[in-house]
Chains A and B, each alone.
Chain A
Amino acid sequence: MTTASPIIDLKGVSFGYPGGPLILRELDFTLLPEDRVGIIAPNGSGKTTLFLLIMGLLKPLSGRMQIFGKEVREEKGFTEVRRRIGLLFQDADDQLFSPTVLEDVAFGPLNLGKSKAEALAIARRTLDFLGLNGFEDRITFKLSGGEKRLVSLATVLAMEPEVLLLDEPVNGLDTRTRTRLMEVLLQLTIPFVLISHELDFLTATTMTIYTMADGRIRLDQELTLHQHLHAHPLGASPHEHCPTGAAHGDSSAHAVDKPC
């Protein structure tokens, strides 16, 4: 790891909805310029809340947030944060509100003050990058689930962000779109934080995987020996499995677990 100054630096951040329990409890989180971080944690542990706090959509009850080396507190500071950090929402229907795909992708660049021609060029280039040529005039709500996800990613990437926050991007995707998304993430040169329930996907795309518990983020680096239950034909007859890598981190051991 380098000693470069962190992009995102949260110290002792707490958050809870009025009248409810604390969702985040004195959470510390740091993202460095080269980081690709995965977060895997149970539902309701505050992963999405963390993203909303970073984008300034929710305000912390206490704690300090430094983003791009500057302390952010007020709405004004977050305008800049939102321009430089891209957030991919969990539900693509929240993100796509324009009638056509091209308009939706061009919406961000236009807000950033680009001319119509520039915005259209950026939008076309982004769609191209994601393999979405020919989608320009499609109606956003008539897209399939996988197409919606990729178009949402296009709307975020069109803002040319310096950091990406991805909230369960693989949820409900078929294998093909999943693979496409994985390829896209591996091609990206910017740091990102990815929330997912799929360890395979996280190990393939990120360098560090954190988990969340008790409203805090923790790094679980200890290897734990464990067994998997699995099913395959002839599973009832006595058999043995190839002794390939056995620890987490070696995703192939989990993904390819065929009888000898």
Chain B
Amino acid sequence: MLREPFAAGDSFLHRLDPRIRLAAAVVYSCAVAVCREFPALLSALVVAVALIALARLRAAEVFKRLLVVNGLVVFIWAVIPFTFPGEALFRLGPFTAAREGVALAAQITLKSNAIVIAFMALVATMPFATAGHALHRLRVPDKIVHLLLMTYRYIFVLEQEYLRLARAAAIRGFRPGTNLHTYRTYAYLIGMLFVKAIDRAERVRWAMLCRGFKRKFYSLHEFKAGRGSVIFLIFISAAVLGIAALELGAVAW
């Protein structure tokens, strides 16, 4: 079951206008993603940590999520330093680590952690539905927003239908193994899920038609940008400009 453990809260960030939070997260991530200089990346990480402190999220939950991201980062450290051409930094048995490779891996580590932390602080702190409405207000096309919201809505139903099918297989003694029978069973299961999804889609369309759906969605949400939002906007703009300045070497470290 998907949960939204960060969405409930009452910090300064939680109360901030979702549109501003989303926009800030996007601008910040794009800026960080193109940075290459370590001073810029390190200060980006500091900004992200400051944001998450502001959101007052439970540290244990935050680390659990970072663990997932850094699980992938470990693979990058295992491969990139040893495959990247460049000046030798150290040797590990038959493998030589290049200085450029190590730098690249470090950049990736900093970037991915900074962006994920910032997203947790800014975007994960709002319920998914709110995020959808905020995107709508930010003039993201209707179709994309509603595709997003409907996917989120029905992913639970599909999960339940999958579990029901899997249970039905399990109670009849199905034990997955590495054999043709297992592959065939899973193929049936997935095929069945598609058939059910199409059926469901048709019934949902009917239900929408019955309620006078005219291919237009309405958003009931009213967003208000208060003084806190303006202060935050100034703070985050300054932070992004600072990161850009460090990246471009306009400011000496």
Contact = CB atoms under 8 A, between A and B. Distances in A.
A103 B220 contact: yes
B200 interface: yes
A99 B149 contact: yes
A159 B220 contact: no
Contacts of A10: none
Contact of A82 (B204, B210, B220): B210
Interface string B102-130: 00000000000000000000000001110
A209 interface: no
A108 B211 contact: yes
B209 A139 contact: no
A155 B211 CA distance: 8
A108 B204 CA distance: 14
A163 interface: no
Given A89-B203, A100-B129, A108 B212 contact: yes
Contacts of A97: 150, 153-154, 204, 207-208
B139 interface: no
B206 A57 contact: yes
Most B CB within 10 A of own CB, among A55, A140, A141: A141
A155 B210 CA distance: 11
A89 B204 CA distance: 10
Contacts of B200: 93-94
Given A93-B157, A99-B132, A82 B212 contact: yes
Nearest to A114: B218
Given A91-B203, A116-B218, A116-B220, A111 B213 contact: yes
Given A52-B206, A140-B153, A99 B128 contact: yes
Nearest to A92: B207
Contact of B212 (A52, A91, A100, A112): A112
Contacts of A102: 220
Interface string A47-83: 0000010010100000000000000000000010011
User: Do most interface residues of chain A lie in helix, strand or loop, or is the interface mixed?
Assistant: helix
Contacts of B203: 89, 91, 94
A109 B220 CA distance: 12
Contacts of B216: 111
A83 B153 contact: no
A107 B208 CA distance: 9
A27 interface: no
Interface string A188-201: 00000000000000
A87 interface: yes
Contacts of A95: 207
Interface residues of B, number: 26
A145 B153 CA distance: 16
Interface in B206-237: 206-214, 216, 218, 220
A110 interface: yes
B183 interface: no
B60 to A, nearest CB: 24
A196 B130 CA distance: 38
B19 to A, nearest CB: 17
B194 interface: no
A202 interface: no
A106 interface: yes
Contacts of B213: 107, 111
A120 interface: yes
B210 A87 contact: yes
Interface string A89-132: 10101110111101100111011100010011000000000000
B220 to A, nearest CB: 6
Interface of B: 127-129, 132, 149-150, 152-154, 156-157, 200, 203-204, 206-214, 216, 218, 220
24 contacts: A55-B206, A55-B210, A82-B209, A82-B212, A87-B210, A89-B206, A93-B200, A94-B203, A97-B153, A99-B127, A99-B128, A99-B129, A107-B211, A111-B212, A111-B213, A111-B214, A119-B218, A119-B220, A120-B220, A139-B127, A140-B153, A141-B153, A141-B156, A155-B211
Given A98-B149, A111-B212, A155-B211, 10 more contacts: A83-B212, A86-B210, A89-B206, A97-B150, A97-B204, A97-B207, A99-B128, A99-B149, A99-B152, A141-B153
Interface of A: 52, 55, 57, 79, 82-83, 86-87, 89, 91, 93-95, 97-100, 102-103, 106-108, 110-112, 116, 119-120, 139-141, 155-156, 159
